[in-house]
Each structure stands twice: as C-alpha cells, then as structure tokens.
Amino acid sequence: MITESPARKFRLNESAKPTVSVVIPTLNEAKNLPLVLPYIPLDIVDEVILVDGRSTDNTIEVARRLMPSVKVVLEPRRGKGAALRRGYQESNGDIIVVIDADGSNDPRELPRFFQTLVEGVDFVKGSRFAPMGGTTDMPRLRKFGNGFFVTLVNLLFDQKFTDLCYGYHAFWRYCLEYLDLSRLDGFEVDTAIYLQAVRRKLKIIDVPSYEGFRFYGIGKLQTFPDGWRVLRTIFREWLVSLRGPGEEAHVGFRDYSHKPVFPEGILIPVTGSVFDGRVMIIDHNPTVTFHRFTLDELIRLLLAKPIRPAPQTCLSDLLMFVMADMGASSGSLVVLDEKADVLSGYLAYGKNIRMIDSRGFSALRQGICGWVIQNRKPVIVHSTLQDPRWFKQPWEEKEGTARSAVVIPFTENDRVLGVLTLTRPDDRHFTEKELERVTKMVITV
C-alpha cells in the first residue's frame, strides 16, 4: 500500500521537481510530428518516448531529426492499448503523460496537467467538455455517443466526469500498480484506465483541454466498432466493481486542490476549487518564484494579462478565497469595461457560485455597487435593510433579515475595473479594521 504520494514530497520541497515522461503512440505520423514535437515544454519534460506501431513512412527519422533525445520504442502489436502499455513500461518519470501525435492534443497544455498532479491529484484526464475546454474534431454522432457514455459512467460509478473517450491524460507512476491493462489493445484503453482509477479510489480529475483537427492523415478511430468496445468496457468495469470487495481509498496527499497552469505563467484554480491563497508565477525553468500582491494589484494583473481561460474565471476563485478568509456568507465580484458597464461576474452563496451576465447586475448597479463605481471608495453597510444605498430584493424585505456588507472597488488610475461585495449576518457586523484588511489583503504568490 502506498502511504504517501510523491506530490507531498514536491510540495514540501519547492526546489524539487518531479521528472516527467511523455509517451506518444505513433503510426505513420511523419507529417504531423514537426507540428507537435517542437511544442513539448522541455523545461518540464525530462524524456519523450515515441512508441511506433510499425509505421511505413519515415516517422522515426523525422522524430529523431526534430528531437535527437527522443527515445524510440518499436511495438509489433497493433492497437493503442499495446502502445500505451509499452510506453508505460519504457518510461522512467515520476509523472507519465500521454499525448496523441496527430495534433489533436496541444502539448502546450501539459503544464496544466503537471501542476494539477503536483498539487495533490493522483490522475488527471483532459476534458473537451469541461469549462474552457472544446473540440473542433468531433462529428455530431460521436459527440452524442461520448455524451451517452459520460452519462452512463456518471450514473453507474457515481462520478461527475465531463468527458470519457479522450486520450490526453497524466498520472503519477504509482498509479500503474492499480491498473490492469493486459487485455486492452484498442481505443477502449482510455476508458478502462479512467474507470479502473475510479474503482481503486484514486483521485481523478477532469481538466479542460482543447481538441484540434488532425493535421494530416486519417484518424484510426472507427465510430461503431470502437464505440461498442467502449460500451463493453464500461459494463465490464462496473460488474467488477459490484463483484469485488470494497476498495480502500488511496492513502496519499489530498490537501491541495486542483490548480491548472494557464498561459502567460499565471496559475489560478478553476471554478469550484478551494483556493488556498497561493497564486504561483512559474518561470520558464523549474524554479518557482514567490511574490506578494495586494488583492487590488492581483486583479489588475489578471485583467491586464491576455490569458485563457477568461480572467473572470480566475476571479471566481479569488471571490471564494476572500469570502472564506473574511467569513462572508455571500458575495459577488463584477468586472467592468472601460465605460464602467458590467461585463460579467460571479455571485456566491456559501460554497455555491454561479456566473451571471450583465443583465443579472442591474440591481447591483442601482444599489451600493453603483454607488461605489461612481465614488471609487470602499464602504461598509451596517444594515442592508436600513442603508438607502442598498438595493433591496423582495425576499430581503419579506424576511426582514438585515445583513452587514463591505464593498470594495478595484481601480486603475481613474478607472474602476471591478467591484467586490461581501455580506454576512447582521449580528456579525463588518468593522473598519476588517474593511481595511480586505482592502489591503496580501496574497502570497
């Protein structure tokens, strides 16, 4: 039994970096490799293993010319499953990543998978249908089939997967001890891997990924035959889970939430995660540097960076963090354009958070939020029922329950970039010290 995952070692020693092996199955991908291999982030990756399934073009020669350090392994057996098993066996990294060679998986997304694992997850699988994911290479029939399989798996295995038949994944090496891939040779291997990870109580998480078109050549996946194998795999793993004894949860490092790395070096957790107050700036080398920003400075930084996913998504996690830190029961964070019109934002009640568009902020613009936008000053509301600046909702007046609130604008020169509002029960009034504290809140990054 594994008593502690490697993630803990690398969290306790920030200067350490887990080694990473990238496994790339290939079959006649000579034209595609020049558009894939150069984009693998070698500042993170320690070895690239190309598992070739008897290519008849010059795939191997092209790979070696593009990347002299590439490790080429010849696999005589047909099928993706056979290629993955061989790649796993030949790899040496603490972390193993699988990427397709046809261009449908973007190697530049790899840091997102890497950082999620380091933060305490056992297994990470890409999802085209998670928020900020997408695909340009899925016909309607395959999309329907994938959706059906996802719904079936979530029902049978009590999961919340957003994608199932997508092969971009990464995991810690110790996960291999829990997987049995000996009978899997086709495209159903990805489904089997994910469901076995679920059965063995490994912590598996979807991260957003964008699937592009295959650059050159014809895809090997066959909709109906491979779909049938996926369906059989789902029911086989489900029956095994019913027959077998209950698995104990993997004993590993679980304290850090999901935090994918975004472009431009910004690392922020996705919506729904628990933000622990740490935002990292990753240089183009394994060294992690730490800085300190006020909340206002951090929001200006996020809005100034052309990052994807949208900065509003990052701000949702800042809202949850600040709410938890201030003991707020509800809150909102709006983002404004240059005309001070509301672009978008988030509204949270407890741990539930949702994104609402500009139409949902009409009441806020009429009330205290509009006052703060106009005056560019933070404010305390001691009673939401008595303060004339607070736009009262019908349910507030009906219940007659007052709240205390603090509202803080985020400014740049004369422009208001956004407004944060926090509320909590009337018997826990915000104080001037708390207003000053949240205004000057410093986040270590």
CATH of the domain at 268: 3.30.450.40
Q: Which residue has the higher pLDDT, 387 or 186?
A: 387
Which pLDDT score, from 0 to 100, does residue 300 have?
73
- Single out the residue of 61, 25, 22, 23 nearest to residue 43, CA to CA: 22
Inform me whether the pLDDT recorded for 47 exceeds 90: yes
User: Looking at the structure, do residues 15 and 131 belong to the same domain, yes or no?
Assistant: yes
- Are the C-beta atoms of 142 and 163 separated by less than 8 Å? no
Last residue of a domain, one of 184, 212, 243: 243
What's the mean pLDDT in 282-307?
54
Cα distance between residue 366 and residue 371, in whole Å: 8
Lowest pLDDT segment from 92-101, 335-344, 347-356: 335-344
Lowest pLDDT segment from 43-57, 84-98, 131-145, 155-169: 131-145
Q: Which residue has the higher pLDDT, 268 or 147?
A: 147
Q: Which residue has the higher pLDDT, 363 or 95?
A: 95
What's the mean pLDDT in 49-62?
92
Cα distance between residue 67 and residue 412, in whole Å: 46
Which pLDDT score, from 0 to 100, does residue 306 have?
40
Instruction: Kindly indicate the confidence band of residue 158, based on its pLDDT and cuts at 50, 70 and 90.
Output: confident
Q: Which residue has the higher pLDDT, 298 or 148?
A: 148
Cα distance between residue 216 and residue 381, in whole Å: 61
- Say if 258 falls within a structural domain: no
Give the sign of the dihedral formed by CA 61, CA 213, CA 103, CA 146: negative
Instruction: Kindly indicate the confidence band of residue 177, based on its pLDDT and cuts at 50, 70 and 90.
Output: confident
Which pLDDT score, from 0 to 100, does residue 78 have?
79
What residues contact 271, with CB distance under 8 A and at least 6 apart?
131, 313, 316, 317, 346, 353, 355
Q: Which residue has the higher pLDDT, 340 or 416?
A: 416
Q: How many domains does the chain have?
A: 2
Alpha-carbon distances, residue 299 vs 88, 274, 302, 304 (angstroms): 41, 18, 5, 8
- Single out the residue of 357, 293, 362 nearest to residue 321, CA to CA: 293
Q: Dig out the tokens for 408 from the structure.
A: 């803080």
Q: Which residue has the higher pLDDT, 225 or 198?
A: 198
- Single out the residue of 206, 326, 186, 336 nearest to residue 273, CA to CA: 206
CATH of the domain at 119: 3.90.550.10
User: Looking at the structure, do residues 428 and 297 belong to the same domain, yes or no?
Assistant: yes
Give, for 24, the enclosing helix (H) or strand (E): strand 20-26
User: Looking at the structure, do residues 145 and 34 belong to the same domain, yes or no?
Assistant: yes
Last residue of a domain, one of 178, 209, 243: 243
DSSP string, 178-238: G---TT--STTHHHHHHHHHHHTT--EEEEE-EE---SSS-----HHHHHHHHHHHHHHHH
- Say if 250 falls within a structural domain: no
Instruction: Kindly indicate the confidence band of residue 251, based on its pLDDT and cuts at 50, 70 and 90.
Output: very low
349-400 tens-digit pLDDT = 877 787 765 554 554 566 788 888 888 889 998 888 888 888 776 666 666 6
- Are the C-beta atoms of 392 and 340 separated by less than 8 Å? no
Which pLDDT score, from 0 to 100, does residue 301 have?
67
Inform me whether the pLDDT recorded for 49 exceeds 90: yes
Cα distance between residue 51 and residue 60, in whole Å: 10
Domain interval for residue 126: 6-243
Which pLDDT score, from 0 to 100, does residue 303 have?
64
Q: Dig out the tokens for 274 from the structure.
A: 């628990």
Q: Which residue has the higher pLDDT, 76 or 185?
A: 76
The SS3 call for residue 51 is strand
Q: Dig out the tokens for 57 from the structure.
A: 């073009």
Alpha-carbon distances, residue 212 vs 201, 209, 444 (angstroms): 31, 10, 36
User: Looking at the structure, do residues 200 and 285 belong to the same domain, yes or no?
Assistant: no
User: Looking at the structure, do residues 145 and 198 belong to the same domain, yes or no?
Assistant: yes
Instruction: Kindly indicate the confidence band of residue 292, based on its pLDDT and cuts at 50, 70 and 90.
Output: low
The distance from CA 100 to its chain's CA centroid, rounded to whole angstroms, is 20
Alpha-carbon distances, residue 350 vs 21, 81, 323, 367, 443 (angstroms): 40, 44, 8, 22, 21
User: Looking at the structure, do residues 238 and 267 belong to the same domain, yes or no?
Assistant: no
User: Looking at the structure, do residues 164 and 286 belong to the same domain, yes or no?
Assistant: no
User: Looking at the structure, do residues 194 and 331 belong to the same domain, yes or no?
Assistant: no
Cα distance between residue 72 and residue 51, in whole Å: 6
Q: Is the peptide bond before 309 cis (omega within 30 degrees of 0)?
A: yes
- Say if 256 falls within a structural domain: no
User: Looking at the structure, do residues 82 and 32 belong to the same domain, yes or no?
Assistant: yes
What's the mean pLDDT in 215-241?
67
How would you classify the pairing of strands 415-425 and 442-444? Answer: unpaired
- Are the C-beta atoms of 234 and 145 separated by less than 8 Å? no
Rounded to the nearest integer, the mean pLDDT of the chain is 75
What's the mean pLDDT in 193-203?
88
Cα distance between residue 91 and residue 88, in whole Å: 5
Which pLDDT score, from 0 to 100, does residue 147 have?
79
Phi, psi of 115 (to 5 degrees): -70, -35
Instruction: Kindly indicate the confidence band of residue 168, based on its pLDDT and cuts at 50, 70 and 90.
Output: very high
Residue 223 exposed, middle or buried by CB count within 10 Å (0-12, 13-18, 19+): exposed
pTM for the full model? 0.53
Instruction: Kindly indicate the confidence band of residue 280, based on its pLDDT and cuts at 50, 70 and 90.
Output: very low
Which pLDDT score, from 0 to 100, does residue 16 have?
60
Which pLDDT score, from 0 to 100, does residue 275 have?
35
| Alpha-helical regions (H) of 339-431 | 362-366, 368-375, 394-399
User: Looking at the structure, do residues 224 and 360 belong to the same domain, yes or no?
Assistant: no
User: Looking at the structure, do residues 239 and 337 belong to the same domain, yes or no?
Assistant: no
- Single out the residue of 111, 93, 121 nearest to residue 8, CA to CA: 121
- Say if 1 falls within a structural domain: no
Which pLDDT score, from 0 to 100, does residue 325 have?
81
Which pLDDT score, from 0 to 100, does residue 267 have?
39
Any idea how long the chain is?
Answer: 445
User: Looking at the structure, do residues 129 and 76 belong to the same domain, yes or no?
Assistant: yes
396-426 tens-digit pLDDT = 666 667 889 999 988 877 778 888 899 998 7
Alpha-carbon distances, residue 213 vs 101, 115, 135, 216, 219 (angstroms): 12, 26, 8, 9, 10
Lowest pLDDT segment from 175-179, 206-210, 307-311: 307-311
- Say if 254 falls within a structural domain: no
Which pLDDT score, from 0 to 100, does residue 73 have?
93
